Amino acid sequence: MGKSSEITWMGRVQEETEQRSRGQSPKATSENRTSDKVAPSTINYHIDDIGVDAPGPVQMYWVPPRQVADHLFETYLRAVHPQFPIINRTLFSTQYRDFFDDRSYAGDKWLAILNMIFAIAAEYLHNSDGAQRGDIKDHLFYLTRARMLSMGGDSLFEHPDLQQVQIEGLIAFHMLSTNQVNRAWKISALAIRSATSLGINLKSSCHKMLGVSKEIGCRIWWCLYTVEHTLGSMTGRATSISTNMYTTQLPLPFDEEHLSEPTATTLLGDLDKRDKRVDMAMTSPQIRHPDLQRSEDTLAARSWLQSLPVSPGLYFLYYCDLAVVNQEILDHVYSPESATVSWEDIKSRASRLKTIVDAWVTSLPPGLDFTSVEDENQQSCWAKTNLAFHYYNTRIMLGRPSLCRHSGADREKSVDQRGFSHDMAAMTLESAMQMLDLLPDEPNMGHLCRFCPWWCFLHYIMKTATVIILELSFHCVHMPDRESDLIESAKKSVRWLHMMSMHCIASHRAWQLCENAVRRLVSSMGYDDSDIPPPPNKQRDDQFADNVGTAQVLSYNGQGQSSIRPHESHAMDHSNNNFDLTGSLAFGFLAAPSSQDHAAGDAHFPYDPISEEFLRYFFPSLDGGENPSGEKNTF
């Protein structure tokens, strides 16, 4: 895990808490940091140690009953497609209806795409806490079927087509949203390579290709870009999307059904005009062209963009624009190269990037401006809230290097004397609290799934919680007058993690990491901790280890049979199948391996690829104790 990963940041939290409990001075902290370093593998809350095979036999060409399929498909189009438009919604919807009306033959890759749509929707429905909540393992059947249809035999050794890129992108998105981060990382890299081999990372001037098809290819690229970027931020690893490896234009601010209208067709047919009307009006081109001067054409283009109604297409344009800026932060503030330059150079880079981030937020159209408090419809509220999360996360990323312990001499300086680094640290903490302010005080999964970037929400809230906990461990040195606000924000983040832990093992692990730290800090600072949800007792952990944890380990090992057939499982009504995962961690899949079946036993341990050791605990306490032949066109 690299420097931008919240797991690395959480390691710093544990170091600071240990040193605070020992009463060490800042000087002693610096001298002992190397010996006290916490291994990232011991505080990893992701679930790559849990398998993704279906816990039972899978029929490759089975599809769910029409009623179930319609519900899953509609859920995907409503909850996923606006944030991840990797399919042509209009064309695929027509193909979907023809397929289920027995008017069309579907090839394996099209079916694989369909199954991935079902997998993502099934997982979303399970977590959304609604009346149609499905079984916790439903998405694994669809995922396994998609893999059989598209990644079996020689499929991975054949030259990819656009459908294959879509499949790989959907799998990467699904793995990311289910916190299978290392698997997502591998598949995302494959998708980027496949897309690059087809040239969709390059600006196309081929007049034989229909304009709408070019635009869908462009959107596929940006879907892959945003997933790869998010994974790079989560892991701190170098990404496959450097600025000089693509020339794809930013997506048009229209939904698919409007791409045949005159304004859109004009821009699709004239790349230069598209550049002037869309790309040059955005913020990210300043990264490639730092000397770019704003012209009257640019101002007119911005005025045109700001006059457009709020739509998923407009949201996706500004999200991609911000993702490019955020990627620049990863490349120039958190890269290994940054460790070889002086702090003054890092501050200069951060200052330039802060100017670009500030320019992005001021360029937002009124319908996307989350800093306004005007009344808004649900679509506008959704778009604003999602962009706000991405924006505050960007500011947290930018300012995090400045959030550090102050020496005694630094503490004696005035705020004005501390200068840029202090301001950036304060910006980071302010952004963390503002992100939490986007959430209601009473945690509920319905709000999260309707209005927030649910597919990476855990990543965002962990970054937020970590920087706040760090500041508390520094005795609120950057914001001494906001100590009580920081305490309330820390407790709010733990309450949201606690609610999410009822639905997701990764969230349960993340909650365990933060709850202990926040409770100890809050108590030591003389604040009331009664509104922090208490940890479950061991008896409850043991109870759920047999229910969910063991079932998922059997899935990982390819063992066990489903008590119902896959086709039966999807046709059933799972509305009462409300799994509580509060105690699904640990004992079921952290049991000691059998010496007679070493391969199977190893699967029960999270594996550290660096030290080549199986870790017997995930959560050491802060006291130091242990824890798928003809294919259809989909573009």
pLDDT greater than 60 at residue 213: yes
Encode pLDDT of 508-524 as tens digits: 999 988 998 899 899 88
Single out the residue of 228, 182, 194 nearest to residue 84, CA to CA.
228
How much of the chain, in percent, has pLDDT values that exceed 90? 50
- Report the alpha-carbon distance of residue 186 to residue 184 in Å, rounded: 6
Its domain, for residue 64, covers 47-249
Specify if 564 maps to a domain: no
Q: If pLDDT is split at 50, 70 and 90, which confidence band does 9 have?
A: low
Q: How many residues are recorded in the chain?
A: 635
Residue 445 near residue 500, CB atoms below 8 Å? yes
pLDDT greater than 70 at residue 179: yes
Q: If pLDDT is split at 50, 70 and 90, which confidence band does 551 have?
A: very low
Task: Output the CA angle 275-278-283, nearest 5 degrees.
Answer: 100
The mean pLDDT value for 472-479 works out to 91
Specify if 54 maps to a domain: yes
DSSP states along 393-428:
HHHHHHHGGG--PPPHHHHHS-HHHHTHHHHHHHHH
The mean pLDDT value for 200-226 works out to 84
Encode pLDDT of 92-143 as tens digits: 999 999 999 987 788 999 999 999 999 999 999 988 865 556 566 788 999 9
Q: Radius of gyration over alpha carbons of the chain, in Å? A: 25
User: Taking the model in full, what pTM does it have?
Assistant: 0.81
Lowest pLDDT segment from 29-43, 172-186, 294-308, 461-475:
29-43
Number of domains forming the structure of the chain: 1
The mean pLDDT value for 331-335 works out to 89
Q: What one-character DSSP code corresponds to residue 614?
A: E
Residue 454 one-letter amino acid: W
* Average pLDDT value for the chain: 79
Specify if 304 maps to a domain: no
pLDDT greater than 60 at residue 564: no
- Report the alpha-carbon distance of residue 125 to residue 457 in Å, rounded: 16
Environment class of residue 525 by beta-carbon count within 10 Å: exposed (0-12), middle (13-18) or buried (19+)? middle
List residues bridging with 494 in a β-sheet.
Answer: none
Task: Output the CA angle 56-607-335, nearest 5 degrees.
Answer: 120
C-beta atoms surrounding 445 within 10 Å = 19
- Report the alpha-carbon distance of residue 388 to residue 319 in Å, rounded: 10
Residue 326 near residue 397, CB atoms below 8 Å? yes
The pLDDT, as a whole number, for residue 631 is: 41
Encode pLDDT of 65-81 as tens digits: 999 999 999 999 999 99
Encode pLDDT of 585-599 as tens digits: 222 222 223 333 333
The mean pLDDT value for 162-183 works out to 96
- Report the alpha-carbon distance of residue 184 to residue 177 in Å, rounded: 9
The pLDDT, as a whole number, for residue 335 is: 83
pLDDT greater than 50 at residue 544: no
Single out the residue of 139, 45, 124 nearest to residue 84, CA to CA.
124
- Report the alpha-carbon distance of residue 613 to residue 610 in Å, rounded: 8
Single out the residue of 476, 518, 566 nearest to residue 58, CA to CA.
566
pLDDT greater than 90 at residue 539: no
Specify if 382 maps to a domain: no
Specify if 573 maps to a domain: no
Specify if 363 maps to a domain: no
Single out the residue of 508, 480, 501 nearest to residue 422, CA to CA.
480
* Highest mean pLDDT: which range of 152-166, 205-219, 331-345, 422-436: 422-436
Residue 271 near residue 205, CB atoms below 8 Å? yes
The mean pLDDT value for 422-427 works out to 94
Encode pLDDT of 264-321 as tens digits: 999 998 888 998 899 989 999 888 777 666 677 788 889 999 999 999 999 999 999 9
Specify if 356 maps to a domain: no
Specify if 282 maps to a domain: no
Environment class of residue 347 by beta-carbon count within 10 Å: exposed (0-12), middle (13-18) or buried (19+)? middle
Classify the C-alpha dihedral 285-288-293-296 as positive or negative: negative
Instruction: Tell me the HSE value of 131 on the side-chain side, using a 13 A CA sphere.
Output: 1
Backbone angles phi, psi at 464, to 5 degrees: -65, -50
pLDDT greater than 70 at residue 435: yes
